[in-house]
Chain A
């Protein structure tokens, strides 16, 4: 089997990888249901006054648009791979 013949299969595998990586990233960063965040707040404690105050840290928290984009790209790759595979199968018949 040459590389061109394996192309649909590669596309479908890539689709799975993209979809699972997107889902995994979204779950791993907290399954945040809002928009993607690039800064997160942690609370620190002022010793004398007892005031809790926020400190921002750079961090990536994947949001729903990240999840949606990853799954759409995965679905598109899978659909293209399947379409290409069927087209080639039909051409061989």
Chain B
């Protein structure tokens, strides 16, 4: 009788422990299609005659992240070119038009993470250099981006206002620059009004629901 109780207890413990390990220690896949629509990339170009700032909010993709092994992070983030907006409607049309980003022919900007290096902790955040392939207007270049990872355990329900919803959040932040000529965007043209260097600021949150 006692043996049976002990065996059952051990089995129950093993199941619970396995569930705990699965829930908290294994890699999770975070979906960056944000239902609240706050995920955004801000861009700014500071040319001698014109400063342009704008945003893009059409972000999707997924990242596989393990809080215990952030160096193994992989993922793909996609930005819809049609979601890029600046303050002037005509300028927005030009930005998406064929002479600049050509949203009709190249509707997405894609970053595909290939490797993670120089991982270090800063408080509750993890900072790392993420190297991957950035594709803009059909041109793919390898870039390295400093990324801050913030893992928010069990915050999905609170964020979406549904306490029954279980799951974690992963917030990614990155500030980096690219050169438009590297991606064949009017190289060397109109540099007095449209700066060659584009400063990008990415702030996105992904969700990994648990059942």
Contact = CB atoms under 8 A, between A and B. Distances in A.
Contact of A54 (B55, B90, B204): B55
Contact of A51 (B55, B87, B90, B171): B171
A49 B52 contact: no
Interface residues on B, range: 20 to 34
Interface string B38-51: 11101000000111
Contacts of A33: 49-51
A51 B39 CA distance: 8
Interface string B150-193: 10100100110000000001010000000000000000000000
Interface stretch (A16-24, A39-47, A67-75, A80-88): A39-47
B36 A40 contact: no
A54 B88 CA distance: 15
A48 interface: yes
A39 B169 contact: no
Given A48-B159, A49-B205, A40 B87 contact: yes
Contacts of A39: 85, 87-89
Interface of B: 36-40, 42, 49-53, 55, 57, 85, 87-91, 150, 152, 155, 158-159, 169, 171, 203-205
Interface of A: 33-41, 46, 48-54, 56, 61, 63
Given A46-B36, A50-B171, A63-B88, 8 more contacts: A34-B51, A35-B88, A35-B91, A37-B87, A49-B38, A49-B169, A49-B205, A53-B39
